[in-house]
Amino acid sequence: MFLALVTLFLAATLDAQTPVFYRVAFDPTTLSTFTVSVAIPADVSGDVRLLLPNWSPHAWRPSSWGERIQSVKARDGLGNTVGVTRNGDVLEVRGRAPVTVTIQMGQTAQGLGVTEYFTNNGVLVDGTRTLPLVGGASDRPCTIEIDVPESWDVACPLEAAEGKRHFRAADYPTLVDAPIMAGSLSRWTFEHGGIPHDLVLDRQGKEGRPSAARLLESLEKTAAAHEEMLGKALYKRWTLLMVEGVSGERQHRNALTVGVDDSELSGDALGLLVQASTSMATTRMAGQVRPAALVTADPFTTPKTPSLWFTDGWPRWAGRMALLQAGAVPALWREDLCDVILRHRNHSLVGRLSPADASRTVAAPWRGLDPGLAGHAVCAALDIQIRHATGAKKSLSDVVRLLIEQTDSTKGFTEDQLASAVEAVGGAKTRAFFVRHTETVEPIPWDDVLARAGLQLEWIRWQIADPTLRCSVNDGKVLISRLRRSSALYAAGARVGDTLVTVNQRRVRTPLDVDRQIARMRAGQKLRIDVRRGDRQRSFRVTMATSYRLRIPLDDGNDTMTVRALPPGPARDAGLAEGDILLKIDNMRIGRERHVRTASGRIKAGKAALTIIRRGNRKHLTVKVPRRVIWRGAITLDPKAKPDARRVRDALLEGS
């Protein structure tokens, strides 16, 4: 039946480049496996190879799929069996197209998440782990059919083809970056500028349809704000796929997959709005302006573009500015900006990797500096710098508009074109600021930058291990908003949602009061918090420790703990190299990569003794591990701001 459908499809499209035809079949009675079929048309020349790419625009480290393959079959255009050879993650077909390859996949994700899952009630398909690329056909059109139970609905950001479960994509990168959700789905849609914006919710079979009226209204205002910033959108559809009962998010080219709960659908859902607004900005950038290295990239070779900080960072900044324009509370915007500045400042690699270097090393085997975080911080500073230089008449959005006007979307922009656009909008000094803080590790002078916008940041320095206690204010109460399960306070009994009454027996009225009290602590002292939970008041005490961080990535897939490519840091400075075998840190034997983190927590006096084997010889290295300093604080309005700074501040806080 499948071959017959493919034959009819190919016959109808002989006058154009014939698409590659995919079919993914899910049977909820067999959750452990599913089937992927790929029909490769006759006009694909050369040897037939199937493999997953090393990267896709929003999945820089796809997992190996070879281990998921349980069986492979191939048939030619006449239905004859064709041999297939597995070479690691590559399937090599003995013969030429046309050929249909059918793969039975295992290792399904049966727990809910925002990347992929397969349950009795629904499925979420991640293309980077499911849909193989046909070698030499990455720019060829693709169509896909989703075979699921008849009672299931199917949602996808791709253009609909023949039938409600068929979709088409302009090329493979578009196909692989489009999530597909199926199940008993709830749907809402609004149009802005003639473009449909779909909201889809998978409740995993729960009865009832929650109200999403406020969310729809907020998203429509947000879409209008994006249009005000950059003009009419060129994308054809934007899709928000929501999974109830999980957390996390996954950005795609013109879609967002995100975990939600009932309160986020019926309430203001600021966190969800931030994620959705960022996704709208990402979709605009993907369709109109991208670095040349991403437009022409070979999907089998991770592109080395120094501009990834911009393509990841600008949408985060633009998403938040659009929310301001749509009516978000400025105080919450300041809290968010402060959080970005502090997370960037506290990162252990921020003084060793520039945003450009972070972009180039995004697919390194060690976890580097997130170029999106670095880019968000740089874009915030650059936007303020442009507004200051132009008397609040221009902003970073004008740079993006200029790039869109001057860039051929089929070729993309170069790093020099981006710098030239910054100079054209903000002047030579702004370009110098741009170059200095994207190509070097020189810290952003936040005190000066914020002063130009009539803002000020009170820096608070913690010299103890981070207790991971983060707070927010709601109805005049200071609530615990974030607390890691691995923290000592969580182990002692504190929970997210508790109302903080006192810290070290001092009453707190703002999150800044909490940070100030913790800043007074030293290693060995006890931190006491008093909280109210319901109608009960409880006290928790934990001992503060000194914080050190030692980063050593290991290949722990076998019995020897082999050092992988090292990030810049004290271990590399001490002489540790890729290929060394790590035996011990101090007196702790290292049997897994996670043991490095455990050993880091036991470091005393800032030194760690490493025992390694290099080329068969045992060696000892001493690593000087610096004490980790954690910065906290808050951004407030500067009451002494000059008129020029107040104009910049007013423009910022209005989102204009």
Provide CB contacts within 8 A for 606, sequence distance 6+: 548, 624, 625, 626, 627
Strand pairing report for 20-25 and 142-147: parallel
| DSSP alpha helix (H) spans, 526-583 | 570-573
Q: How many CB atoms lie within 10 A of CB 79?
A: 8
190-205 pLDDT, tens per residue?
Answer: 999 899 999 999 998 8
CA dihedral 277, 278, 284, 287 (to 10 degrees): -130
Distance (Å) of CA 401 to CA 234, 278, 406, 413: 13, 17, 9, 13
What pLDDT digit, counting tens, does each position of 93-137 carry? 988 889 999 999 988 888 999 989 999 999 999 888 899 989 888
pTM of the predicted model as reported, rounded to 2 decimal places: 0.83
Which long-range contacts does 562-570 make (Cβ < 8 Å, 24+ apart)?
563/612, 564/365, 564/366, 565/364, 565/365, 565/366, 566/366, 567/349, 567/352, 567/364, 567/366, 567/367, 567/368, 568/349, 568/352, 568/353, 569/348, 569/349, 569/352, 570/623, 570/624, 570/625, 570/626
Question: For residue 155, what pLDDT band results from cuts at 50, 70 and 90?
Answer: very high
- The two most distant CA atoms of the chain are separated, in Å, by 81
- DSSP annotation of 232 reads S
Residue 370 pLDDT level (bands cut at 50, 70, 90): confident
- State the residue for tokens 């002063």: 451
CATH superfamily of 554-624: PDZ domain (2.30.42.10)
pLDDT band at residue 611 using 50, 70 and 90 as cut-offs: very high
CATH 1.10.390.10 domain residues, the chain: 184-288, 292-453
Is 73 within 8 Å of 37 (Cβ atoms)?
no
268-272, 333-337, 376-380, 565-569, range with greatest mean pLDDT = 376-380
Note whether 128 and 208 are within 8 A (CB).
no
User: How does pLDDT run across 260-315, given as a tens digit for each residue?
Assistant: 886 677 665 778 889 999 999 988 887 677 888 777 666 666 677 888 899 889 99
And the tokens for 159? 């253009």
Sequence-separated (6 or more) residues with CB below 8 Å from residue 526: 541, 542, 543, 544
- The CATH number that domain 292-453 falls under is 1.10.390.10
Decide the pairing of beta strands 630-637 and 455-462: antiparallel
- pLDDT interval class at 14 (50, 70, 90): very low
Percent of the chain predicted with pLDDT > 70: 92
What pLDDT sits at residue 643? 95
Backbone angles phi, psi at 174, to 5 degrees: -65, -40
Please give the backbone phi and psi of residue 219, each rounded to the nearest 5 degrees, phi first: -70, -35
Q: How far apart are CA 514 and CA 628, in angstroms?
A: 20
**Cα–Cα separations (whole angstroms), residue 632 to 40, 328, 339, 505, 629:** 56, 24, 8, 21, 10
Q: What is the pLDDT at residue 502?
A: 95
Sequence-ordered list of residues with C-beta below 8 angstroms from that of 592, at least 6 positions apart, any chain: 554, 556, 561
Mind listing the pLDDT tens digit for each residue in 162-195?
A: 877 999 999 898 898 899 999 999 999 999 989 9
Three-state SS for 123-159 is EEECHHHCCCEECCCCCCCEEEEEECCCCCEEECCCE
Confidence tier at 9 by pLDDT (50, 70, 90): very low
Query: Which sign does the torsion angle of CA 249, 250, 256, 257 carry?
Result: negative
Report pLDDT for 478. 92
H or E element at residue 492: helix 488-492
Residue in the structure block whose two tokens are 């880019």: 375
Structure tokens of 646? 């107040």
pLDDT, the chain, mean: 87
Kind and range of the H or E run holding 462: strand 455-462
How many CB atoms are closer than 10 A to CB 4? 8
Confidence of residue 564 (pLDDT cuts 50, 70, 90): confident
Mean pLDDT across 570-593: 89
Burial 240-262 (b: 16+ CB within 10 A, else e): bbbbbebeebbbbbbbbbbbbbe
Please say if the pLDDT value at position 60 is more than 60.
no
Instruction: Give CA–CA dist 154/145, Å, rounded.
Output: 10
Hunting for tokens 């019926």 — which residue is that? 266
Kindly tell me if the per-residue pLDDT of 559 is higher than 80. no
Cβ neighbours around 117 below 10 Å, total: 24
Pairwise CA distance, residues 128 & 113, whole Å = 15
Decide the pairing of beta strands 90-93 and 581-585: unpaired
Q: Helices marked H in 203-304 — which ranges? A: 213-230, 262-266, 270-288, 292-295
Assigned architecture for domain 184-288:
Orthogonal Bundle (1.10)
Local confidence band at 550 (pLDDT 50, 70, 90 cut-offs): confident
10 pLDDT higher than 50:
no
Q: Which superfamily does CATH assign the domain made up of 464-543 to?
A: PDZ domain (2.30.42.10)
Q: Which two tokens stand for residue 184?
A: 């008993």
Yes or no: say if 89 and 232 are a contact pair by the CB < 8 Å rule. Answer: no
Amino acid at the residue 219: L
What is the end-to-end Cα distance of the chain in Å, rounded? 56
**Nearest Cα residue to 280 out of 326, 214, 337, 248:** 326
State the span(s) of the chain assigned CATH 2.60.40.3650.
Answer: 1-183
Q: DSSP string covering 311-345, please?
A: HHHHHHHHHHHHHHHTT--HHHHHHHHHHHHHHHH
Considering only residues 550 and 432, tell me which one the structure prediction assigns the higher pLDDT.
Answer: 432
**Average confidence (pLDDT) over 211-221:** 89
CATH of segment(s) 1-183: 2.60.40.3650
Domain with CATH 2.30.42.10 in the chain: 464-543, 554-624
Task: Tell me the sheet residues that pair with 133.
Answer: 51
Give the mean model confidence (pLDDT) for residues 142-157: 95
